[in-house]
Structure 1
Amino acid sequence: MNPAASPLLTALFQFAFFYPIVMSFFWISGGLYYYFRRERHARPRTDPPPMSDAPFVSILIPCHNEGDHVHETIGAALAQRYPDFEVIAINDGSRDDTGEKLNRLAAQHDRLRVVHLDRNLGKANAMRMGALAARAEYLVCIDGDALLDEFATHWMVWHLCQGARVGAVTGNPRIRNRSTLLGRLQVGEFSSIIGMIKRAQRVYGRIFTVSGVICAFRRSALHRIGYWSDSMVTEDIDISWRLQIDHWDIRYEPNAMCFILMPETLKGLWKQRLRWAQGGVEVLLRHTRDLFSWRKRRMWAVLAEYVMSVGWAYIMAFIIALWALGLFVELPEQLRVTTLLPSWHGVILALICLLQFAASIIIDRRYETGVGRNYYWMIWYPMAYWLLSFATTVTAVPKALLKRRGTRATWVSPDRGLR
């Protein structure tokens, strides 16, 4: 930092440095509180709490070009340790052999029904069609490449039965593909960052988003808000905000696990995180006005956190632009950024990283043995996480602003890892 910098630039530098640190402490404290209050002496994953009258459940699986994964996914869904359920697979205009494979599986399993849609209209539409075809009030929704843990349905439905205002329960996604550095980094990310964020947000009142790859819903709650929106690139963020704006509670259940495939190339990871960032900005643009009411005050913290994260990204972009401009143009002393290297700031960030990893290991060892092996690769991941978040947010804001209203968000087959 330039000692002669203007007060405004100094304030921007301080915000850019302290915001990640403050948020890390926010997540750590909330995550540890959730763990010691609700998880430390909780029942083991394989012994979910009993239900005197287990309600009928529909498991919805939207599929688009999932021929390589559909056997595993359907098999895991049918293997649920739950007394009464059906599985509905929605083939959303697949151009591979997904439809044929689903039909063969349906002929073998009485619990499985298949809904065929003739063209690709997007995941939100496929989920809506599945919900309309379902016979149950409680819907468990997973992606077409996810492997649902055998006890996951019981854990999520138990929450829905505990309160009439529980509208959704989000589960605990775990990474399947770990053969590359990116895969191992994301193992740590989902526990030390994403899992901890959900715990902290649950403690402080509202969750920014459910995990679209594994979530359970009360169908009457979905009906009240009009189901999933097919014009949002991330239907999971949008449905989370609309449920909570309508005063439904969303819970987090870490014992409800499912195993997913994640990108293992930089291009695939960039596309995925850019879509997530654009979805967050779209939700911010669409629903901010809905929150200007005292009755919606419990969503203000979620709104403030996300607005600050967008602001942080653009402050970082401004600082980097000043530094780059200073390489070619002589700037006034008050605007000169001498270096972007963190110097002693990096030591502080590294110590906080280690603290966050230690907390996540304490929390996560209940759910997966040997997960600590992946933390060897995680020392600098939070810095990479913030840089990725910064870059995707800066790119996503103009994409969301320039997006034509009412444009349908259709399927694009994601990067599922190296083969």
Structure 2
Amino acid sequence: MTDRIIAFSILCLVFGLPLGVAAIFTGELILDFVFFWPLFMSVLWITGGLYFWFQLERHWPWGKNRPPPKLEGNPLISILIPCFNEEKNARETIEAALGQRYENIEVIAINDGSSDNTAQVLRQLAQECPKLRVIQLAENQGKAVALKAGAAAARGDLLVCIDGDALLERDTAAYLAAPLIEYPHVGAVTGNPRIRTRSTLIGRIQVGEFSSIIGLIKRTQRIYGRVFTVSGVIAAFRRQALADVGYWSPDMVTEDIDISWKLQLRHWTIFFEPRALCWILMPETLKGLWKQRLRWAQGGAEVFLVNLRRLFRWEHHRMWPLFVEYALSTTWAFACAVTILLFIASHLISMPPNLTVDSLFPPEFTGLLLGVMCLLQFLVSLFIERRYEKRVAGSLFWVIWFPMVYWMISLFTTLVSFPKVMLKRKRSRARWISPDRGKGRI
């Protein structure tokens, strides 16, 4: 009951704050926040990305002839692949996992009660590949349960977890394991997913997203000490750290965000390794993209609510930047909604001067500044990402449309998910659904 009261209070605060600001000051003030918050975040991401590059990345060897990372002690790496309705992708994914240059690996595929022919495909692969073990779950239990089953069966203490449609580069497992071996306080390492579905505008725009937005965000968050989430499609964990936090939670919509916060609230560090490349499938329709991003937004809100009271303790002060960023981003979404309502009302009825919003478009100087900063962000991301994906420059035309798409998706998914989660009575087990993964692949 206490959590629900706190949640309702936050919902009222987040929705009421823009109204209160507009009532006390002016509609233009809230409009300024709507335009300048993305600008501020863009500057932060550019600065953090460049700092990460100059301090770390630029010193790393790269190229076709680069040596594989050396792992002290030659530890066993267990690659866990939870699968749900992956009959079309399982073979390709497992073969890529087995094709790692680092040889001391085992691959465990977990069939989570698939309704297609995934079970038969996995059984056939197990007969062909001695390093592959298969776990068959009788019914769909959700990704968190499938991962826990795989972790229980794994013989290694370093667990690399990927989705059933992800293709690992040949050294990805070793790159993910290296920070876990070198730094005892690192509990998880998140990799660098790259998009391979590009047959539609939605797919091509996401290429720009993962290059110019996601990569910079991960680098920036790593610099100031805490990462909002590991990539659910490609991440590695230390078994000791997982045991310390009780492994993945089966009742959270996004197990990756949840485990990230659980680890960091227990003072484990998350490392970002951009060399750990993984090629993934993403939605190529608006409907598929909406469902995916709404789930992400709902998962973030759930984690925020569950951990809210703990965040105010001084022992968790290093999580405060994430808390502030999430809170302001949520406030921004509701501020956008309030601004639109004030704009519509201003053209329908007589409004007080301080609540009147004449235009939803930024002033010329603000619009020019946003455009210049957007272009600068693209150039910085291309400068950093060029070594990981040569053809990313060809997506520049599509990248220029992404900030609008990114912020609009953030706006609408927050408006839908935040109230839904805040007023939700009880969490239930999060089960799989078959996602839209697009058709055009590279």
| TM-score tier after normalising by the smaller chain length | over 0.9
Q: How far apart, CA to CA, are the structure 1 residues paired with 2:419 and 2:435? A: 22
Query: Of 22, 25, 45, which residue of structure 2 is paired with 1:7?
Result: 25
Instruction: Output one character per residue of 1:49-101: Cα deviation in whole Å (capped at 9) or x when no partner.
Output: 32232200110000000111011111101101112111000000100000000
Q: How far apart, CA to CA, are the structure 2 residues paired with 1:114 and 1:379? A: 44
What SS class does the counterpart of residue 67 from structure 1 fall into?
coil
Q: Which residue of 2 aligns with 1:406?
A: 427
Residue 59, structure 1, aligned to residue 79, structure 2: yes
Q: Which amino acid aligns with 1:10?
A: E
Q: How far apart, CA to CA, are the structure 1 residues paired with 2:239 and 2:310? A: 23
Q: Which residue of 2 aligns with 1:149?
A: 169
Taking structure 1 as reference, are residues 5 and 349 closer, same or farther at Cα in structure 2, changes over 3 Å only?
farther
Question: 5 Å matches for 1:291-306?
Answer: 291-306=311-326
Q: Which runs of 5+ in 2 are unaligned?
A: 1-21
Query: Of 51, 62, 66, which residue of structure 2 is paired with 1:44?
Result: 62
Question: 5 Å matches for 1:196-211?
Answer: 196-211=216-231
Question: How far has the Cα of 1:184 moved from its partner?
Answer: 1.0
Q: How far apart, CA to CA, are the structure 2 residues paired with 1:376 and 1:9? A: 34
> Root-mean-square deviation (CA), in Å?
1.4
Q: Which runs of 5+ in 1 are unaligned?
A: none
Q: Which residue of 1 aligns with 2:7?
A: none
Query: Of 350, 353, 356, which residue of structure 2 is paired with 1:336?
Result: 356
Q: How far apart, CA to CA, are the structure 2 residues paired with 1:403 and 1:272? A: 20
Q: Which amino acid aligns with 1:412?
A: I
Query: Of 20, 36, 53, which residue of structure 2 is paired with 1:18?
Result: 36
Query: Of 117, 120, 133, which residue of structure 2 is paired with 1:113?
Result: 133
Residue 376, structure 1, aligned to residue 397, structure 2: yes
Q: Which residue of 1 aligns with 2:265?
A: 245
In the alignment of these two chains, the number of paired residues is 416
Q: Which amino acid aligns with 2:107?
A: V
TM-score (normalizing by structure 1): 0.97
Instruction: Output one character per residue of 1:225-270: Cα deviation in whole Å (capped at 9) or x when no partner.
Output: 0100111111100100010000001000000010000111011111
Question: How far has the Cα of 1:333 moved from its partner?
Answer: 2.4
Query: Of 341, 347, 354, which residue of structure 2 is paired with 1:327?
Result: 347
Question: 5 Å matches for 1:231-310?
Answer: 231-310=251-330
Question: How far has the Cα of 1:332 moved from its partner?
Answer: 2.2
Q: How far apart, CA to CA, are the structure 2 residues paired with 1:47 and 1:203? A: 26
What SS class does the counterpart of residue 268 from structure 1 fall into?
helix
What SS class does the counterpart of residue 161 from structure 2 fall into?
strand
Q: Which residue of 1 aligns with 2:157?
A: 137
Instruction: Decide whether the 8 Å contact of 2:28 with 2:357 is kept in 1.
Output: no
Query: Of 93, 116, 126, which residue of structure 2 is paired with 1:96?
Result: 116
Instruction: Decide whether the 8 Å contact of 2:35 with 2:362 is kept in 1.
Output: no
What SS class does the counterpart of residue 69 from structure 2 fall into?
coil
Q: How far apart, CA to CA, are the structure 1 residues paired with 2:239 and 2:439? A: 37
Question: How far has the Cα of 1:8 moved from its partner?
Answer: 4.2
What SS class does the counterpart of residue 110 from structure 2 fall into?
strand
Question: How far has the Cα of 1:323 moved from its partner?
Answer: 1.2
Question: How far has the Cα of 1:176 moved from its partner?
Answer: 0.5
Q: How far apart, CA to CA, are the structure 1 residues paired with 2:425 and 2:124? A: 40
Q: How far apart, CA to CA, are the structure 2 residues paired with 1:294 and 1:403? A: 28
* 396-405 or 183-192, which deviates more: 396-405
Q: Which residue of 2 aligns with 1:363?
A: 384
What SS class does the counterpart of residue 370 from structure 1 fall into?
helix
Q: How far apart, CA to CA, are the structure 1 residues paired with 2:398 and 2:363? A: 22
TM-score (normalizing by structure 2): 0.92
Query: Of 246, 249, 255, which residue of structure 2 is paired with 1:229?
Result: 249
Q: Which residue of 1 aligns with 2:182?
A: 162
Q: Which amino acid aligns with 1:29?
A: T
Q: Which residue of 1 aligns with 2:332?
A: 312
Instruction: Decide whether the 8 Å contact of 2:27 with 2:356 is kept in 1.
Output: no
Q: Which residue of 1 aligns with 2:46?
A: 28
Instruction: Decide whether the 8 Å contact of 2:195 with 2:207 is kept in 1.
Output: yes
Instruction: Output one character per residue of 1:273-326: Cα deviation in whole Å (capped at 9) or x when no partner.
Output: 111111111110001211222211111111111111001111111101111233
Q: How far apart, CA to CA, are the structure 1 residues paired with 2:338 and 2:220? A: 30
Q: Which amino acid aligns with 2:408?
A: L
What SS class does the counterpart of residue 14 from structure 1 fall into?
helix
Identical aligned residues as a percent: 55
* 288-297 or 249-258, which deviates more: 288-297
| Consecutive aligned runs of 4 or more in structure 1 exceeding 3 Å deviation | none
Q: How far apart, CA to CA, are the structure 2 residues paired with 1:305 and 1:52? A: 38
Instruction: Decide whether the 8 Å contact of 2:49 with 2:220 is kept in 1.
Output: yes
Instruction: Output one character per residue of 1:134-178: Cα deviation in whole Å (capped at 9) or x when no partner.
Output: 111000000011001110001011111001111000000000111
Q: Which residue of 2 aligns with 1:173?
A: 193
Instruction: Decide whether the 8 Å contact of 1:183 with 1:264 is kept in 2.
Output: yes
